[in-house]
Chains A and B, each alone.
Chain A
Amino acid sequence: DTAVSQTPKYLVTQMGNDKSIKCEQNLGHDTMYWYKQDSKKFLKIMFSYNNKELIINETVPNRFSPKSPDKAHLNLHINSLELGDSAVYFCASTSARLYSNQPQHFGDGTRLSIL
């Protein structure tokens, strides 16, 4: 009965490869997010979707492309992986409408390591 689940948990790959991370939530939420946590534990938002519509797109290289096939799923595809992409990527979701104060629920993260 995991609320926000990400796959895979660990991803080790070579520089230059293309990879995808998947996220699913079973909470009935309509807003989902991707965050990046660097080696110093600093968390920064990357993208957010509300009902399959992109609503937040921070300054992220266009090698990163989120895709939301439906409001329960938000996947992250990364092209031409670089060493600096090594991080833990967290998916989150909330029931919030735009101006609500509902908290975000986080997945357990995907640790991406680029060799």
Chain B
Amino acid sequence: DQQVKQNSPSLSVQEGRISILNCDYTNSMFDYFLWYKKYPAEGPTFLISISSIKDKNEDGRFTVFLNKSAKHLSLHIVPSQPGDSAVYFCAASAGGSQGNLIFGKGTKLSVKP
């Protein structure tokens, strides 16, 4: 059973608009969440993270929101750029450690010029 779910396999957005990528989790012990971005033929690269003591973390165009009661997090990209086109993975871990990161299956974002 998947503990981290990204229910949208793909998302298409116009350049300049907001991209919202969603992630749901089932394990209430998760307390650390990350987003990774992956281009074809490359490894995932870290984008942004959030601890469960916060409900928002922002880094430039990227903001992650955490709703613990709903076991839901989202990544907002504003404004979206064509270079943001990639697969985005949500990941979670428990115990304040990233020793056992559980990844979602990813959402492929396409940003059209």
> A and B from one assembly?
no
Residues of A within 8 A of B (CB): none
